[in-house]
Chain A
Amino acid sequence: MFTGFKYILVVTVFFISILLLLPLLVFVWDVFQNPECIVLRFGNASYIDSEVFKVNITLSYCSSIPLKNVKIQIGSKLLEFDYINKGVVYTREIMLTMEDLEEGVRGLEASIGGFYKVVLKFKY
């Protein structure tokens, strides 16, 4: 009586699993193909005073799976992007202190395709 339903359930789950895994697989593949997938560049620094300076940060990304809610920790400052997509260069202006710059990028948090939250912490 329930055999048909069981088969339908298994097939449905198989396809949903593939759909759910696909963004993750593509992201992992893209990152392993290009380890420098997310590139941060600092430019146009101008001093506000002896401690603080303004800097333009550009972010580029290589994977075809977009990243959502991207948070990048630079020293004590947090840089946020709602979405980042492949091939688009994002620019943000941020105030940094010398201490922040010495500490460098401490971490990155993002959601792969809006499904899987990934957290990276860097220890120098």
Chain B
Amino acid sequence: MWRKVIKNVLLGVFKGLIYYGVFWVLIPWLISSVLKVPFEQPLHLAILILGVFISLGVVSSSVKPFIGIIFSVLSSLLTLYIMVGVLGVVISTSVRYGSVIVEASLDYTPLMILIIGVTLIYTIVECFERLVELEE
């Protein structure tokens, strides 16, 4: 019994860390290094996001599979919120070039549509997978 609970909690923490690592660390780092523009990610928001991801992961692994689907979907919705609400689809910066200040902004909507689309497809596939497991 305890072994199963610990296993589920660890699985949930792992899932939460994966979501956090991919959507809060890896993707912003990738966009930031490609465009050579720093992203501002406040520490308190990072801790909050990490906490929410881990909590959703733990709950989704620990509760009955049918209810767990809802929490998995919530994790995906949070990733979509991070993508659209926190990172946005336009990145802007200003640089001084001699006596001129250049304000630059770049719209990377195609890339964001790809990431959001894949997240949605992945979530739907995961839901189907769980439903199939439930039926078996």
Chain A contacts to B: CB under 8 angstroms = 1-2, 5-6, 9, 13, 16-17, 20-21, 24-25, 28, 32, 35, 115-124
Contacts and interface: CB of A to CB of B under 8 A. Distances in A.
Given A119-B104, A122-B101, A9 B125 contact: yes
A124 B99 contact: yes
Contacts of B121: 9
A21 B107 contact: no
B45 interface: no
B132 interface: yes
Interface in B94-116: 97, 99-108, 110-111, 114
Interface residues on B, range: 20 to 34
A28 B103 contact: no
3 nearest CB pairs, A to B: A117-B107, A121-B103, A123-B101
B102 A120 contact: yes
A35 B36 CA distance: 14
Contacts of B122: 6, 9
B128 interface: yes
Contacts of A119: 104-107
